[in-house]
Structure 1
Amino acid sequence: MEQCRTTVAKNLIFLCLVITGIFLSCKTFSNELSSISLVQRMQIKKLKNGKMSEMPRFNRQPTYPWKGDLQCERFSVQLAEKDSLIKWPLTSFPGSGVTWTRQMIEGITGFYTGSVYYSDPSPTLNRDGNVTDNTDDPLCGCTILDKDHEATVQVGKQGLDAYFELLHRLGHAGIVHQQYDRRGVLLLRNPMDVIFSFRNWQLAGKTGNASPDAFKGPEWEEIIDYVAYAWADHAIRWIEQIDQGTVLFYERLLGKTAENELRRLLNIIGFKPIDSDRMKCALSHRNRTDHKRHIKNKMLLEPKHRIKLMKSIHQVQQSLRRKGWPTLPIYLYDVHSPDGKI
C-alpha cells in the first residue's frame, strides 16, 4: 500500500512538472509573439490550401512609374540591395493617405517602400492597371520606408476592444522600440476626413464607397468613438516613443508646401542626394488615381461628432508641441459642417 502511495505521489509530481512546463512554454511563446510582432505579422507565412505559402522572391527588376511622360519616364523604382537600408516605419491610421504618400516617396528616392502586411499591393500600378511586381518585405533592408498601421488596422472584429487586445495582449504597443529602435515617421491626416475614408475602406476596400446607411445608426456611433480615441492614442504613443523621426501632414502634401514637407522627411531619414528632377516628377504626378476612390461624396458630421474629434485633435496638438515637432495644420482642415464652422 505504501509503495502504491509513493508511486501515485511520484506520478502527481511528474504531472505537475509537465503542466508547469507547458504553462511556461506557452507563456514564453506568447511573450515571444509580443516581442516580435513584426515577424508575427509579416514573416510567419499564411496558410493557403492547407500549406504554408511562400514569400515572394527577392527581385530588383526596376519598374517605371511615369511611362508616357517624356520628362519623367526615364526614372525607375526598384528594391535596394538587401540589408543596405535602415528599417524605418511609416505609420498612420488607416485612411490617412499612406498609399498615395508612398507613391511620392518611391518616385523621389527611386526605391520601393514596403509593408508589414503580407501581400500588401504596391502603391503604384502599371499602365495596364496591375500591381507592379516588387517584393514587400520589411525584413530585407531593401525598402526606403515600411507601412505599419500598428494596432489601428484590424481584421474581423472592429472597435476599441479589438484595439486594446492588439495593444496589450499581442504587444503592438511596443512596436516602435522593439522593432524600429525608436525610429519612426508618423503620417497624420485630419480625423474628420479619416473617419469617412476609414469607413469606406472597412466596407468597400481601397477604392469603393460604402452605402450612405453605413454613416448613421448605432454602428456609426461606435466607429466615431473608435476613430476619435484610436487616432489620437496611436499618434500620441508614437510621438512620445520616437527618438529619431518626424511627423508628416497629409494636407501639406496636397499643396505648395509639399516639396518642403518631403525634403524635411528625406533629411530626417538620411536620404541624399535628393534629385530635383525626380522631385518635380513626383509632385507633377500627385493626381494619379492608383488605389483611389474615383467618387468622393461630401458628407457632414453632426456637431457632437465634430466636438469629439476636435478633442482628439487638441490632444495630438498638445503632444506635438511638447515634442517640439511641427504642429497640425488645423487651418487646412475640413470640419464637415454646412457653414465650415465647428
Structure 2
Amino acid sequence: MKEKVLMITIIVFVLCALYSVTYNYRYRQLSADIKQMERKIEIEWGDWKENRPWPRDAECRNFTTRIAREGTLPLMALASFPRSGNTWLRYLIEGASGLFTGSVYMDKRIYKSGYYGEARNHTDGTTFLQKTHYKARPREFNGRGVLIIRDPFEAILSFYHFKSTKGHTGSIKPKNISIDDFEQFAYTRITRWYEIIEDWLTNGSEVHVVFYEDLVEHPIEVVTHLLRELGLQLDPKRVECLRKFTTGKFLGAKHSANNLYREDLKSVFRSVISMAADKIETKTGQKLPTHKYEFFSE
C-alpha cells in the first residue's frame, strides 16, 4: 500500500513539474509574441531623396532606400566607439530594411556615398537609428539604443589610422608610426571605449548589444535578427540581395599591430576589457567574445 501511495505521489509530482515547465514555456513564448506585436513598426514612407544600393545588379537594381514620413519613427541611437563598424552596420540596416539611417553628424563623404539620411535632422523621425559616438547620449535618445562593441585592440588601432589619414578606409605605413605617440593615443582611448559601454548599460532603458566580431562572421543573420527584434518586417528578396553585397563601401581593412601594443599597454587593455565583460554580462546576460580578441588571452 505504501509503495502504491509513493508511486502515485511520484507520478503526480512529475506531472506537476511537466505542466509547470510547459506552462512557463508557453507563457514566456506568449509574452515574447505579445512583445513582438507591440513593437511591430508600420512604415509610413516619406517623399524625399532615394538611393539605389545595387544599381548594376539585374535582380536587385530596383530596390530603393527611403525616409519615413516625418515624425513616424522612434528616436533610437546607433552608438559605438569610433571605428567599431557603425557606418558598415548602417549600410546593412539600410540594405535590409529600405530605410535610411541617421546621424548626429553631417559627414559629407558618407552622404555622397548614398547615406542620404546623414543630412536629416536626427530627431525628425524620418530615419531608423541615428549614429553617435558621444558619451552621455542615452538621455537624448530616451535611453534607447543599439550599442556596437568591437575589440578595443582593433578599434583603437583603426581609429589611430583614421585620425592620421582623415579617411574611413585609409591606413599609414607601419614604419611611419611612432610607438610612443600611438601609446599615448591608446591610453586615452581605452578609457573612452569603456565609458561609452558603461554609460549606455547604466543609463539606457532599452539597449541592444551587437558584437562587431559576430557581425563580421554572420552579417546577414545578425542584422536581420536585430531588425526583427526592433519591430521591422523584412522583404526576403531584399535580404537575399544584401547577402550578395554585404561589404558596402565602408568596411575597413584589418590593420597590422606591428608590435605597437607593448606588454604594459596590453595589460591595461585586458583589465578594462574584463571590467566591460562583467558589466555586459551583468546587464544583458551576453558574453563579450574575448576569445576572438587577438591580444586578450596571450
Q: 1:196 to 1:311 in 2, by over 3 A?
A: same
Alignment correspondent of 2:241? 281
Unaligned runs of 5+ in 1: 1-57, 152-172
Aligned residues: 251
SS of 1:140 mapped into structure 2: coil
CA shift digits 1:80-117 (9 cap, x unpaired): 11111001100101111111111000011101111101
Partner Cα distance (1:190, 1:327) in 2: 13
Q: Say if 2:99 and 2:127, in contact at 8 Å, map to a contact too.
A: yes
Change in CA separation of 1:333 and 1:192 when aligned onto 2, cut-off 3 Å: same
1:247-266 equivalent positions in 2, closer than 5 A: 247-256=209-218, 258-266=219-227
Change (3 A) 1:134 1:75: farther
Query: Percent identity at matched positions?
Result: 25
Of the candidates 155, 158, 170, which is equivalent to residue 197 of structure 1?
Answer: 158
TM-score w.r.t. length of structure 2? 0.76
Match among 84, 100, 114 for residue 112 of structure 1:
100
Partner of 2:191: helix, strand, or coil?
helix
Query: Is it true that 1:231 corresponds to 2:193 in the alignment?
Result: yes
TM (norm. structure 1) is 0.67
Kept in 2, the 8 Å contact 1:214–1:220? The answer is no
Equivalence for 1:62: 50
Q: How do 1:162-201 residues align onto structure 2 when only pairs under 5 Å count?
A: 173=136, 175-177=137-139, 179-201=140-162
Structure 1 residue 240, shift from structure 2 partner:
1.5
Distance 1:304 1:283 in 2: 42
Deviation for aligned residue 1:122: 3.3
Is 1:140 the counterpart of 2:120? The answer is no
Structure 2 spans left out of the alignment, 5+ residues = 1-45
Q: 1:134 to 1:323 in 2, by over 3 A?
A: closer
Match for residue 306 of structure 1? 266
CA contact (8 A) 1:185 1:247 kept: yes
**What's the Cα RMSD here?**
2.5
CA–CA distance in structure 1, aligned partners of residues 88 and 279 of structure 2: 26
- Contact persistence 2:102–2:118 (CA under 8 A): no
Question: Which string of whole-angstrom CA distances, capped at 9 and with x for unpartnered residues, describes residues 298-326 of structure 1?
Answer: 53322222222121211111011111342
Change (3 A) 1:230 1:196: same
1:91-148 superposed Cα distances (whole Å, 9 cap, x missing partner): 101111111111000011101111101345437826xxxx768633202110001000
User: Which amino acid letter does the alignment assign opposite residue 198 of structure 2?
Assistant: I
| Cα gap change, 1:327 to 1:291, in 2 (>3 Å) | same
1-structure distance, mates of 2:210, 2:199: 16
C-alpha contact 2:165 2:172 (8 A) present in aligned 1: yes
C-alpha change, 1:140 and 1:70, in structure 2 (3 Å) is same
Contact 2:79 2:132 in 1 (8 A): yes
How far does residue 214 in structure 1 lie from its aligned partner after superposition?
A: 6.0
Give 1:208's aligned residue.
170
- Answer whether contact 2:111 2:117 (CA < 8 A) is retained: no
Q: Structure 1 pair 326/118, CA: closer, same or farther in 2 (3 Å)?
A: same
Q: Is the 8 A contact 1:207 1:291 kept in 2?
A: yes
Structure 2 CA distance for aligned equivalents of residues 247 and 235 of structure 1: 10
Deviations 1:232-269 (A, max 9, x none): 1211111121211310111111113x333223321332
Contact 2:53 2:65 in 1 (8 A): yes
1:280 is displaced (CA, Å) by: 2.4
Q: Which moved further from structure 2: 111-120 or 142-151? A: 111-120
